[in-house]
Amino acid sequence: MKLNKDVLEEFRNSDSKILVVTKYLDKDPTYEVIEELESDYPDILEWVWENRIESVIEKAIDRDKVHFIWNIQSKQIKDIIKHASVVHSLDDMKHIRKFEDICSKSGNWIQIFLQINVDPTKTGGIKVEQIPEYLEIIWDMENVSLIWFSAIWKSEFSRKEKEAEFDLLIKLRNKYLPNWFVSAGTSVDYEIALEKWVDIIRIGSKLYE
């Protein structure tokens, strides 16, 4: 698997880290990518993004390296906890409570990003005005640790719209907990995300040559 060194160097010259999209790769190419990035680019690596827990189990990736990003199904939470250490797409308090309950009973832990809806044209996600309510409940949890905010992304956008999205996420982060992280951006808008100093950017197609 040949990696795009130009993209990797862009990250190396920034303050952002790369979350490598491996969800489309088979097991062996996934391991090749992880091994090369661990060896040559450990300073910019935030590990890998998977969206199917069945794939994570099949690939047998180290739990500490797996970030899960996709729609959460209640029946999958137990397996997500077992095989992933970070979840970027939580926007349902019932699911968050279930993560806490299962972690508590199993002696485990999970780190989460709250998925914020910064685009009124899209459904899903936590509304901006709901953030304090979610934070108050999560602070009392012992096994669920909040890392901060991610966003629902869209495939079609203007540069102005994307800049506004990133600016709002960063503004919300700075308002509530300025030392925590924003997870946003993909291969289609990563250059804007780098300019805006988004902390964690998800890269797939742009990384593979």
pLDDT at 85 over 90: yes
* pLDDT score recorded for residue 15: 93
Q: Residue 180 — pLDDT band, cuts 50, 70, 90?
A: confident
pLDDT at 155 over 70: no
* pLDDT score recorded for residue 77: 97
User: In the structure encoding, which two tokens stand for residue 205, read together?
Assistant: 């197609």
pLDDT at 120 over 80: no
Give dist(CA 155, CA 57) in Å, integer.
29
> Global pTM?
0.90
* pLDDT score recorded for residue 153: 59
| Percent of the chain predicted with pLDDT > 70 | 97
* pLDDT score recorded for residue 179: 82
Largest CA distance in the chain: 46
Mean pLDDT of the residues in the chain: 91
pLDDT at 41 over 90: yes
- Helix axes 131-139 and 159-176, enclosed angle (nearest 10): 40
* pLDDT score recorded for residue 26: 93
**What Cα–Cα distance (Å) separates residue 102 from each residue in 34, 66, 181, 206?**
29, 18, 25, 37
What is the mean pLDDT of the segment spanning 65-93? 93
All domains in the chain, ordered by first residue: 5-203 (3.20.20.10)
* pLDDT score recorded for residue 148: 77
* pLDDT score recorded for residue 4: 95
